[in-house]
């Protein structure tokens, strides 16, 4: 099983801020990483796959980078609708696993 460390677990930010979320793997996974956004009471929504490919319909202020063991999700200019919890998921190794989540809250 691949262990994932997502940080920070809580991020306080203001509208307009640039925010970054980190996801670190216990072993290399090439670029087999996805990012999801989850709002309270809702299902997760796919934002990014293959570490840096934006899912159709996702705003361009979201971007992903990294390969191997270290990955980053960046929101370039935080909007009010972006306050949510974000999860990384690796799909390189079976079973697929998720990071612990990063809650982005209003500062």
Partner 1 sequence: QVQLQESGPGLVKPSQTLSLTCTVSGGSISSGSYYWSWIRQPAGKGLEWIGRIYTSGSTNYNPSLKSRVTISVDTSKNQFSLKLSSVTAADTAVYYCARARPVTMIEDYWGQGTLVTVSS
Phi, psi of 76 (to 5 degrees): -75, -35
Q: Does 31 bind partner 1 (CB under 8 A)?
A: no
DSSP string for residues in 4-68? EEEE-SEEEE-TT--EEEEEEESS--TT-EEEEEE-TTS--EEEEETTTEEPTT--TTEEEEEET
Question: Binding of partner 1 at residue 96 (CB under 8 A)?
Answer: yes
| Least Cβ distance, residue 90 to partner 1 (angstroms) | 11
Stretch that binds partner 1, among 12-20, 21-29, 67-75, 87-95 (CB under 8 A): 87-95
Nearer to partner 1, 13 or 50 (CB): 50
Q: How far is the CB of 87 from partner 1 (least distance, A)?
A: 6
94 part of the interface to partner 1, by CB under 8 A: yes
Q: Which residues of the chain form contacts with partner 1 (CB under 8 A)? A: 32, 34, 42-46, 49-50, 55, 87, 89, 91, 94-101
């Amino acid at each position: 099983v691949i262990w994932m460390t997502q940080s920070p677990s809580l991020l306080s930010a203001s509208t307009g801020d640039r925010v970054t979320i980190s996801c670190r793997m216990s072993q290399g996974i090439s670029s087999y990483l996805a990012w999801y956004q989850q709002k309270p009471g809702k299902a997760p929504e796919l934002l990014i796959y293959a570490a840096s490919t934006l899912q159709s319909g996702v705003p361009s202020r979201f971007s992903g980078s990294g390969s191997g063991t270290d990955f980053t999700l960046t929101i370039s200019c935080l909007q009010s609708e972006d306050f949510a919890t974000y999860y990384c998921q690796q799909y390189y190794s079976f079973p697929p696993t998720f990071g612990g989540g990063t809650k982005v809250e209003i500062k």
